[in-house]
A and B are shown apart, each in its own frame.
Chain A
Amino acid sequence: QCPASKSMGGKGCGGEQIEESCRSLSLTGHVGFDSSPDQLVNKSINQGFCFNILCIGETGIGKSTLIDTLFNTHFDDRVANHFQPNVRLKAQTYDLHESNVRLKLTIVNTVGFGDQINKEDSYQPIVDYIDAQFEAYLQEELKIKRSLYSYHDTRIHVCLYFISPTGHSLKTLDLLTMKNLDSKVNIIPVIGKADTISKTELQKFKIKLMSELVSNGVQIYQFPTDDETISKINATMNGHLPFAVVGSLEEVKVGNKMVKARQYPWGIVQVENEHHCDFVKLREMLICTNMEDLREQTHTRHYELYRRCKLEEMGFRDTGPENKPVSVQETYEAKRHEFFGELQRKEEEMRQTFVQRVKEKEAILKEAERDLQAKFEHLKRLHQEERMKLEEKRKLLEDEMIVFSKRKAATELLQAQAFASTPTVSLKKDKDRKKDPGFRLEILCFDVKNQETDQEQREREKLERERFTHREFQK
């Protein structure tokens, strides 16, 4: 019903400056909104600032000392050894106060960087850490109930990359790491322990380093030159990159002042002397001039890039200029259905596989069962056959025994008769007579002896005894 507002000055080219297409009005008096920047600044003072520095460099290159010197305080005393199995990131947060500014400073150190024998994975933990901070912020931003204004921002605002003062060129590890980090964080390369390089060598070294970085397409942080107040100084500083730094908290007397310096037998390297090293430049650039810009770049460039990639990865798209949050919801629903369908399909597949396996197992078991059964049958048959054979043999034996006993009875009868008729039957005849049947008997006995059962043995013994008694009797 109501026509919405008109003339909102148009969409922006980046929106950096106020659109001039709006009518400009001239004020006839003092209104007072020139205090707006102050109001904003005051609010920020109340809330406090966050600043997170990541230091990457080999063990012993002077990271902790430099940070201590930068912020003029002792942060951490512990020194790492060189025997770390992989690269770890150690983060510590400090509350710094200066006049009315509260700074929540987080220093992240890489422990064990460049110490391993195989350095292939050295940069991965660092990339993962930076991504994790972005992820945490993204999660917070995507929450329904969120509290961004009180969120402790842990995203890395600047990465100080320490280059070894070899005097030659960048190490492969350095190149590789920086190439992987340049789209995720603002990199400021510094040359650590720069008091080991002479002035002339330093100049050549710097030129070599910068040309190597440029030729390899590594995008280091450029100090911004769009604001007139600081563009000049930033431009000069850009030409001094990488900064050759020396760190020290020890004070040495030079002239009549105590200055921070490193004392050698051959001289004193003063940390804050611009002729000796670039420490002052680094401090100037990092803290005094560009801290806010570093924070802004992190948020508007690196974080947005991460966010964009992450959301696109998850499958969300801006569907044209009429994008509504609901369509994002639709995308989500579509994905969810798709995912669920996928899940169901996979479940079905698994179930099928399971059933298949069970079937196979069953078949195998059945097969085994059948084998066993066959074997059993076979053995049974064998057993039966054996038994039958034995039965037959026994039958034979029994038959023979019957025959024998019949013969025996017959013989006895004959003998009894013979005895009754002629008492002087010659033994010999008996013997002969006996012998014949006896012979035969004996033969029978021998035959039977081949497969002698107990019964047969008893029979034989009985026969022997009877023969013996017969002889006795005949005697």
Chain B
Amino acid sequence: MEEQPLQAAQEGAPRDVVPGKVGCELFGYVGIEAVLDQMRIKTMKTGFEFNIMVVGQSGLGKSTMVNTLFKSKVSCKATTPRHEERIPKTVQLQSVTHVIEEKGVKMKLTVTDTPGFGDQINNENCWDPIIKYINEQYERYLREEILISRKQKIPDTRVHSCVYFVPPTGHWLRPLDLEFMRRLSKIVNVVPVIAKADTLTLEERAEFKQRIQRDLKAHGISIYPQEDFEEDPDERILNDKIRDKIPFAVVGADQEHQVNGKRILGRKTKWGIIEVENPSHCEFPMLRDLLIRSHLQDLKDITHNMHYESYRVRRLNESNRLALSPVNGLQEKDEMESNL
């Protein structure tokens, strides 16, 4: 193995030198891979946080979907008699937090619902409260991060993914859908799904999906998984497959029925039972896999590394511009501190 020449530090002045990285061959087993286990143990101890937001008109099955996803009564459905809600006049956001555990892994799940979205006659700017909410979470995190004595683990309330329910018209995306997704895909991971997909036949589904994909592309809306954030070629291949199938056509159900002697989650209708977890019936398993089993960490990472960072940049630039005076201060101090 060749070493690249090392830059020795100057006399008396220590310098952090990272010359070219030198690859080294290990003569024997060292035990470095044990660090993976260490990390695993640590993360299991601290647990995970996941925040999901569901957006869509009322009656599209958002709450049912969430319950199906997490196999528990996470959200209360709006149609239960307990709820006396009428359609609220403005979009109101409601968050519910639960702790769920599976095989020793704890997760703090927060589901944010948006009743009233798209339900008014005049739906202009109905996305504003949602955008405000998302930005508020970023702001909260930013404030925590910028403190002098900050917590060891900053509570993460930022929305990691926003599931948008598209009504199954079978035609195209509506202006409301486009507007919403256009605005929100810039600040959060948007995962569009076709709600109540049991009203579409498979061909209709495929056509609808294609039209939606074309629409999204035409309007330059980048939904999750975003193409620009991919670095790995493997990742790209994987995500391309997913992008082919987006938006997923889902059906939600929280009741179990007997099918072939097994108890399965599904919707019972006169003409058959729609099995929610059957990939040939609907694409719910794919959605679940995407959100939870394979891309959960990725969703969080993209939220943290991309969306949060761009919010931070915007915010800090904003406060810089507000407070800039025409007088010029000393350059170095400027550099360092204007970054705050």
Contact = CB atoms under 8 A, between A and B. Distances in A.
B272 interface: no
A450 interface: no
B184 to A, nearest CB: 15
Interface in B224-243: 232
B9 A25 contact: no
Contact of A37 (B40, B101, B149, B333): B40
Contact of B74 (A25, A43, A125, A318): A25
Contacts of A227: 41, 45
Contact of A292 (B19, B39, B149, B153): B39
Contacts of B38: 289-293
B323 A330 contact: yes
Say whether chain B's binding surface is mostly helix, strand, loop, or mixed. Answer: mixed
A326 B91 contact: no
A312 B149 CA distance: 10
A283 B31 CA distance: 9
B286 to A, nearest CB: 12
Contacts of B11: 85-86, 88
Given A14-B153, A88-B8, A95-B23, A101 B35 contact: yes
Given A2-B90, A28-B71, A94-B24, A101 B32 contact: yes
A275 interface: no
Contacts of B132: 1-2
B9 A17 contact: no
Contacts of A307: 148
A72 B29 CA distance: 8
B231 to A, nearest CB: 9
Contacts of B323: 326, 329-330, 332-333
Given A2-B90, A152-B18, A316 B148 contact: yes
A206 to B, nearest CB: 25
Contact of B9 (A19, A88, A229): A88
Contacts of B93: 2-5
B40 to A, nearest CB: 5
A98 B33 CA distance: 7
B133 A33 contact: no
Size range of the chain B interface in the assembly: 35 or more
A339 B334 CA distance: 11
Interface in B287-313: 288-289, 292-298, 301, 305, 309, 312-313
Nearest to B315: A325
B9 A90 contact: yes
Interface in B1-15: 1, 3, 6, 8-9, 11-15
A106 interface: yes
Nearest to A125: B14
Contact of A75 (B24, B108, B288, B320): B24
A304 B39 contact: no
A139 B336 contact: yes
Given A11-B155, A340-B329, A291 B35 contact: yes
A33 B151 contact: no
Contact of A106 (B18, B29, B146, B322): B18
A317 B148 contact: yes
Contacts of B99: 18-20, 22-25
Given A4-B136, A23-B98, A291-B34, A88 B14 contact: yes
A36 B107 contact: yes
B218 interface: no
Contacts of B50: 33
Interface string A269-300: 00000000000000110011111110010001
B100 interface: yes
B85 interface: no
Interface string A317-361: 110000111101110110111011001000000000000000000
A255 to B, nearest CB: 18
Contact of B296 (A33, A144, A336): A33
A339 B40 contact: no
A27 interface: yes
Given A2-B129, A94-B24, A101-B32, A43 B107 contact: no
Nearest to A28: B71
Contacts of B121: none
Nearest to B151: A15
B333 A339 contact: yes
A96 interface: yes
B59 interface: no
B26 A96 contact: yes
Interface stretch (A44-52, A209-217, A396-404, A435-443): A44-52
A263 interface: no
Contact of A17 (B47, B100, B265, B340): B47
A96 B337 CA distance: 38
Nearest to A300: B152
Given A1-B90, A325-B315, A304 B107 contact: no
Interface stretch (A129-137, A168-176, A464-472): A129-137
Interface string A206-239: 0000000000000000000001011000000000
B33 A90 contact: no
Contact of B34 (A38, A93, A287, A328): A287
Contacts of B137: 5
Nearest to B109: A25
Contacts of A34: 102-105
Contacts of B40: 37-38, 40-41
Given A7-B95, A101-B32, 11 more contacts: A2-B90, A15-B153, A16-B153, A33-B48, A41-B36, A43-B301, A70-B30, A94-B24, A132-B15, A249-B27, A326-B319
7 contacts: A15-B152, A37-B40, A43-B297, A71-B26, A91-B17, A92-B17, A339-B330
The 9 residue pairs across chains A and B that have the minimum distance between CB atoms: A5-B95, A15-B153, A292-B38, A39-B297, A129-B14, A2-B129, A89-B14, A34-B103, A32-B293
Interface of A: 1-9, 11-12, 14-20, 22-46, 49, 70-76, 85-86, 88-101, 103-104, 106, 125-126, 128-129, 132-133, 136, 139, 142-146, 148-149, 152, 154, 227, 229-230, 249, 283-284, 287-293, 296, 300, 304, 307-308, 311-312, 314, 316-318, 323-326, 328-330, 332-333, 335-337, 339-340, 343
Interface of B: 1, 3, 6, 8-9, 11-19, 21-36, 38-48, 50, 69-74, 90-108, 110, 112, 129, 132-133, 136-137, 142-143, 146-155, 157, 232, 265, 288-289, 292-298, 301, 305, 309, 312-313, 315-317, 319-320, 322-323, 325, 327, 329-330, 333-334, 336-340
